[in-house]
């Protein structure tokens, strides 16, 4: 089931990006550039280093969150994000595996979706420091469409999360 307000022409969406292989900063910069080909990139958070979640025997990740504006419907937008991953060399081997680039659709306007292809907002975003910290940095008042809590409140209420460290702005 997908619910959305059909009267809107453009939607604000939030993307989580991460990389821990082959020059992660360059991978993130290139992914943001590729997203800019089909969405207006409004804001990019600082880059954060975070410890891996799940499969732990791998390098730390570099992560960021982008706020974008798009006219693409959610399923088409997600397909475009998957193309960004594929163009960046993403290979899906196993859950929480090391990766060249990961681009997650965290939220898309106020859309709530629970289908095999699309779950919005992202179901694990409230349990991940590498999402909540950069999201609260660029959109502290963004409100989760199901929980009704702001990004700042979600981060405050999250409790103990993985280690995360702010590195600074995405270069270049």
Which of the following is catalytic: 9, 90, 96, 166? 90
Active site residue 104: yes
Which of the following is catalytic: 29, 34, 104, 128? 104
Which of the following is catalytic: 29, 67, 99, 128? 99
Active site residue 99: yes
**Which residues, in sequence order, are bridge partners of residue 153?**
none
Upper half-sphere CA count for residue 56 (Cβ side, 13 Å)? 2
Which of the following is catalytic: 22, 102, 114, 143? 102
Helix axes 24-35, 74-87, angle to 10 degrees: 140
Exposure pattern of 64-95 as b/e (b: 16+ CB <10 Å)?
bbbbbebebebeebbebbeebbeebebeeeee
Active-site residues, by number, are: 90, 99, 102, 104
């Amino acid at each position: 089931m997908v619910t959305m307000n059909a009267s809107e022409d453009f939607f604000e969406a939030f993307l989580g990006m991460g990389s821990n292989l082959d020059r992660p900063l360059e991978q993130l910069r290139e992914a943001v550039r590729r997203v800019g080909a089909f969405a207006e990139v409004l804001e990019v958070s600082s880059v954060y280093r975070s410890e891996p979640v799940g499969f732990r025997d791998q390098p730390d990740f570099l992560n960021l969150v982008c706020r974008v504006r798009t006219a693409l419907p959610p399923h088409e937008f997600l397909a475009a994000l998957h193309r960004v991953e594929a163009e960046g060399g993403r290979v899906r081997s196993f859950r929480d595996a090391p990766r060249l680039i990961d681009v997650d659709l965290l939220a898309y306007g106020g859309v709530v979706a629970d289908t095999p292809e699309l779950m919005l907002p992202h179901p694990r975003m409230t349990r991940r420091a590498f999402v909540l910290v950069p999201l609260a940095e660029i959109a502290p008042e963004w409100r989760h469409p199901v929980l009704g809590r702001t990004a700042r409140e979600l981060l405050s209420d999250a409790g103990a999360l993985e280690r995360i460290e702010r590195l600074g702005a995405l270069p270049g």
